[in-house]
Each structure stands twice: as structure tokens, then as C-alpha cells.
Structure 1
Amino acid sequence: MTVADTRLPYGPHRAAAALVSALSPLVSAEATAEAGWAAAEPRDLEQAVWVRLLERLADAGPPSDTARWVRSAVRAEARRTRRTAANELPYAPERPDPATDPDAGPEHSALRAEWRRTLRSAVVRTPGRCPGLLTAMLSPKDPTYREIAGELAISQGSLGPMRSRCLGCLRRMLAAEVAAPEQRGKER
């Protein structure tokens, strides 16, 4: 394409614009229809098809059966998108750098371990059925109320009030054990 072609009143740019305008509803409908199974956004599929169409116009001109070409192009892009998504793997989360992250150092790890030991120690000392309930609630398996109720052989409706009482008791115990540090070096 030359500079002279762009100045023509009905040059290739106007023809491409007319084709894009005419095919816009079809491309949008096809992309919306194919986006669901491709696990892609319809607008992403549309954009990829428009790029393919413009590349085709530059290389070989408009397709002879544009509606058929649009349908096959949308399906091809949907397959490519799905294949790409299936082959992509997410990055593993980065481990924090102790030099730049104050919460990543050995001191922080030691403090967290001490906090967990204190919490577990206090849970064991709570009265009645509280140790079993609190241990189940702190489980890394994250059980549901139904599972906890089945495990403890109590009704599911009584878990909420019991949990509230147990957490209140645990809060009072921890507040007494982990009291605010006194100011040192000052006389009273």
C-alpha cells in the first residue's frame, strides 16, 4: 500500500472500515458464544479476531465468504486461548526476603511459634467442652459447623453460643497471660 492509496476517497482503508463495520455484530455474537467454553472474555476473542482479519486484509484481501471466515477464526482463537490457558502455570509465590521484609526474618518466625504455643496452651486449659471446640476451630482442615458438631456429638445450633463463651474465656485467659508490659526503670 502506498501513500497515494490512503488519499483515495474509497481506498483500502475505507474498504477495511466498511468491512469492520459490517462484520462487527457477527464477530461480537460469535465471540460471546465461544467465550464460555474457551474460558475467555468475549472482548479478548473479538480483539484477536480483528487482528487476524486486519492481517488477512493486508496479505490476501478480504475472504470470499466473510461470515464463514469469522466463525472459523473465532473458533480457532477460542481453541488457541483454551490451549494456552491449559499450558500456563501460575508462578509459585515468592518467599519473603528477610533483608527487605521485617515480617520474614527468624525473629518473626520465633515470635509466631511462641504465639501459637501460648494459644494452644491456653486452649487446653479452657473449661468444659471448650478445648475440643477450639481445637476443632483452629484445625488447618477448616471444618464446617456440621463437621464440628458431628465430631463433638453436640447439636449444630448450640455451636454458636458455645463458641462465643469459649472464645470469651480464651480471651480473658490470654489477656491475663499476655498483659501489657510495665514501664521499667521508672520509680513509682
Structure 2
Amino acid sequence: MWSDASSCFVRWLDGDTDGLDELVRVMTPVLWHVVRAYRLPAESTEDVIQSTWLALVRRRDHIEDARAVGGWLTMTARREAWRVAQRDGRAVPVEVTEFEVALPAQRPAEADAVEHAEADRLWLAVATLNERCQRLLRIVAFEHRPDYKAVAETLHMPIGSIGPTRSRCLAKLRAALGDAAEQEMTS
């Protein structure tokens, strides 16, 4: 997230207005999290976040290292939230754990990385199969209920051989995946 924020900030400084839009999309949930810790009413929270973004627009030239933009935004939001809370007599920061339940569930980056690695491994194994198996498995993988007549015509094979051929291709794919897993374990 921090690297995304810094790259968006750099794009914005270079004149790409979409960079600011993307920075707002990336960092606003974080700012909400920071400001809500001060138990401000929703309207005050919105005002603090808006003031934070306005401060960035006004002081963008004061940020010398783009990698610091995320920290700058969170610190500015904290200071403004504290100022508003003091003004309203509500200076009662709470522990972050109290808001974790209310935060939208996000899939961990590790889960995405594992999923992409597994997909890569799967398609590398598919690539080791013969062309007929590759084509058949792609059809059955991406079609919920493939039309066997159309599959037979496309692959130039009898309808009755599609199921057995698919089974043999899946067995070859399982073997290829097993071989790939064994190679990963030994390397």
C-alpha cells in the first residue's frame, strides 16, 4: 500500500491527475481508520479527512521523498483529528483493535500471491500436455456445461470419446502437477 501511495503521488506530481485520484482511493481507508480512533462523529471525521487531503494539495511541494507521502498523510490526519477532538472536548483515542471488527474484510496479499503461484504452476503443467489435451481442458475449464457436440466438432473427435479423453488428460495433468511439486521440494 505504501509503495502504491508513493507511485501515485509521483504520478500526480508529474502532472497525471489520475495519480491523485488513485492516491485518494488507496489512502482514504487508512485515513478513516486513523481518524476514527479519536471517536469523532462521522461528520467531523469526514471534515478531518477532507482537511488532510486539502493540506496535501496545498503542501505537496514540501514532501521531499515520495515514499513518505503515506506517513505524511496519516500524521496530518492524526494531528487534525486531535485538534478537532480537543476543540470538541473529545480527546479519547481508542485502541486500533476496537475498529478491526468494523473494517471491511480484505483478502491478505499472501493469499493473492499463493493463488497466483498456484495458477502459474497449473498452467505450466497444462503446457506440458499435448495440444489435444490442452484444448479439451481449456474448454471444460472455462465452460460451465460445454456442448459436447460443439466440442466434438471443434476437436474433431467422436462425442463418446470426450469423457474418456478428458479423464486421461486430467490424469496426465495430475501427474505433471505431482512432478512439478516434487521438483520444487528437491530444489
The alignment's TM-score, normalised by the length of structure 2, stands at: 0.39
Whichever structure has more helix as a proportion of its residues is: 2
The alignment's TM-score, normalised by the length of structure 1, stands at: 0.39
Greater RCO, CA 8 A, separation 6+ = 2
